Amino acid sequence: KQEVTQIPAALSVPEGENLVLNCSFTDSAIYNLQWFRQDPGKGLTSLLLIQSSQREQTSGRLNASLDKSSGRSTLYIAASQPGDSATYLCAVTTQGGSEKLVFGKGTKLTVNP
């Protein structure tokens, strides 16, 4: 059974700092990995999608890496801003034809002005 773990559970940083969020998964046979942003009481916004054959994806100040063999992914946020404050979720789609996303519990990020 696929399990996704995210550390830390919460992170508070001053504005402008670069930071890294971590995600690990137990079954390396994944189809892809996604990072999402969730604002309080709101839905999910997909930030980055990494296919199993890729090692990283970049979008603006965000960079996500994937090491499938070790079951790890990181989300790097450069020059953090107060508007980046949200919960960041990592989710994997396991191979085998299933479309099911397995989510971690998320990392709650607070960027202080």
Partner 1 sequence: GAVVSQHPSRVICKSGTSVKIECRSLDFQATTMFWYRQFPKKSLMLMATSNEGSKATYEQGVEKDKFLINHASLTLSTLTVTSAHPEDSSFYICSARWDRWVLAFFGQGTRLTVV
Residue 14 lies near partner 1 (rule: CB under 8 A): no
Maximum pairwise Cα distance, the chain? 45
State CA 37 to chain mean position distance. Answer: 8
Q: What is the residue-wise DSSP string for 42-85?
A: --EEEEEEEETT-SEEEETTEEEEEETTTTEEEEEE-S--GGG-
By CB under 8 A, residue 104 contacts partner 1: yes
* Per-residue contact string for residues 38-77; x = within reach of partner 1 by CB under 8 A: ---xxxxxx--x----------------------------
- Under the criterion CB under 8 A, does residue 101 sit at the interface with partner 1? yes
Task: Give residues in contact with partner 1 (CB under 8 A).
Answer: 4, 32, 34, 36, 41-46, 49, 89, 91, 99-106
